Structure 1
């Protein structure tokens, strides 16, 4: 099957997810700088979530630049990936409504990241099995590192809930490093 509908659909869903996240911002109670500073944590969580969704979008674009067609299983795994990604606005809003030290919202945020990474990993593995460029093996290694980091972040959150968000933001650095093999082969996406 042609990949263009899948990519267009994914782009649309991700745009909606980002829009919903920004709409979850609540206007500060008052018109002072102090009132604005009272909602700083909402802004921090939004930035972390925006960066995370942006990294997923860039990574999705990258992996689909390596194939021309997709299988039915890839379509379904992409749908699963979008399902998990669609949980970000809820998790972001809940953490933003707390003071970043509430255990359950932070843990849910970490779990949403974990299941999204697992769904993305399954998607990439399926694409490799369907004959995608072997360069995607680097992406599989990155997703495995992210999954392990998510588990550590969730566990660390039991010690101090903000560690879940902090560690997950640090995991993004792994995704900002370009795939050197793909760059050397001249496939800059």
Structure 2
């Protein structure tokens, strides 16, 4: 008789479902899930604003045209990628490291590389989290000593080529996927022209 043997398993599943412990089964209001999703970006925004300083802005957005890229950093943290709280804490730790390194290089702006919400960024493989950031400095237009327009436009071209090469390197190393590469490439080209 199969039914009596499966009765304890069925009872346990019903008990776990009633407690909301089975994935996909919730005993609360469906609006709770929407509220939790709506609060997540604000938590990330709060963290980002807390790590920003008067001298250095930290953001997930690309800076405006008045900034030029000066460096790129990749840092790692040991975390259990399957536990969201550890992954989130690892991301926050890495962002602080990236911020400190960018500040040491006299950067004005640090962009956390990746696509999507902040807490979904980075690459988490088994027990290691990897996150990259790009440091920028406000361009003061220090071309006053150069003569002619071609000399002033050469660094912009070199900068554009360098940024595109960096994107290709990130894609080749697996730090960004093809879709992220294409989006970032379009953004770089839009900013240049």
TM-score of the superposed pair, with normalisation by structure 1: 0.34
Higher share of residues assigned helix: 1
Larger radius of gyration: 2
TM-score of the superposed pair, with normalisation by structure 2: 0.34
